[in-house]
Structure 1
Amino acid sequence: MTALERIEAVVSLHAALDRTVSPSERPFDEGALPPVTSEFVELPAPTPLPARDFPDILQARRSRYNPAAVALGAVELSNVLHHSLVSSPTAGGIRELTVLMVVTQPSDPLGVGVYRYAPDRAEAVRLGDVREHLRASLLQPEFVDVFPVLLFVVADAEAPLEKYAMRHYRTMHVDAGVLVQNLYLVTEAMGLVGCAIAGFTDARVASLLNLATTQLPVMAFALGRPG
């Protein structure tokens, strides 16, 4: 198979698997989404993680569903993303994973909307309230009502499948799992709460995040402060 054939096959497979999920009955009107934009917001420089024993963090790490009803600070968000990604290996060293964040409770300098994370900054994708579209994308919409930020791990199939066989589709999910584990550990180390989410409709999430055809949403992670 050529690289293009591998990429097209994996995108088709991912879409076929997505169609096995019964979508939410909530309406998803793509035309009502805030317009796509491209604005950059500077994030605070990351700071060192608190000094805690790794065994303690590992034993304490778990999914939590009881965040405080407050926004997440930009410093906290910057630290979680930086420390989780900087220590997250990928097969062949290919940076195939990106993280997009949906902010539902604003905190200076991030207003509500969709952002793509880059080191030390966030690129706005859509600015405005997308909570209804987010609820309609999740199989458990209650996450939207209690967590101030939802992170989406997105795998780009194009770069790795130009190098590797189609089997690498499995490895992309392994890489995403390593990153999610990092999110859990960093969140725990910082005294925050989080929960991995696998139940969502990929096609709706892709529209919400304005993803390219080869960019596949593979996991989500709800993030907040402890209640």
Structure 2
Amino acid sequence: MQHGPVGLRLIRTRDARVLQRELLTNRSWLQPWEATIPGGVGGFDMRISIRRLLQQHRDGTGYPFVMEYDGEVAGQLNVWGIARGSLASATIGYWVSERFAGRNITPTAVALATDAAFQQFGLHRMEICIRPENRASLRVVQKLGFRYEGLRRRYIHIDGEWRDHYAFALTQEEVPGGVLARWVAGGAPQDAAAIPPHDALQS
């Protein structure tokens, strides 16, 4: 999948070295948003992580992608937690290297992945959950017109603690022409992701 300089492709085992390097180089940039395991030990092996992601892909429960910019690895995007049948839903998670920030890589990749989920993967609903403090990710859902669905308290273990998250979603019927095309044409509703006052948290 490609739009301009931004590409999205299935992760490969040989991506382990470059992804591990990007994660280590961007440690301070990414750590506040990284999922952790309660009581888990330190240490991380990208090769093992990729093998697990590819197994999920074979099992039909995930689509693990690498985000590229002008052919250079810029980060990862995972469509995970896929539920088939009557739910037909999934969640998107991602990270991008600091040196690529501000180039619209993440919103483009999220749009590409959501369009593929709706048009090729047979899914009906896509969700993104974001910490209230993560202003960069909040801008992604604002740009693409994801709809705010609510506050999930102490929802995901991030950077060593259970963290509140805002939930945003789109269904296939909301974007009949595609998420990317709607955004490029300037048709994404700018207030869809607005946080109501009763859910607004101090960042």
Normalising by structure 1, we get a TM-score of: 0.32
User: Based on CA coordinates, which of the two structures has the bigger radius of gyration?
Assistant: 1
Structure of greater relative contact order (alpha carbons < 8 Å, 6+ residues apart): 1
- Higher strand residue share: 2
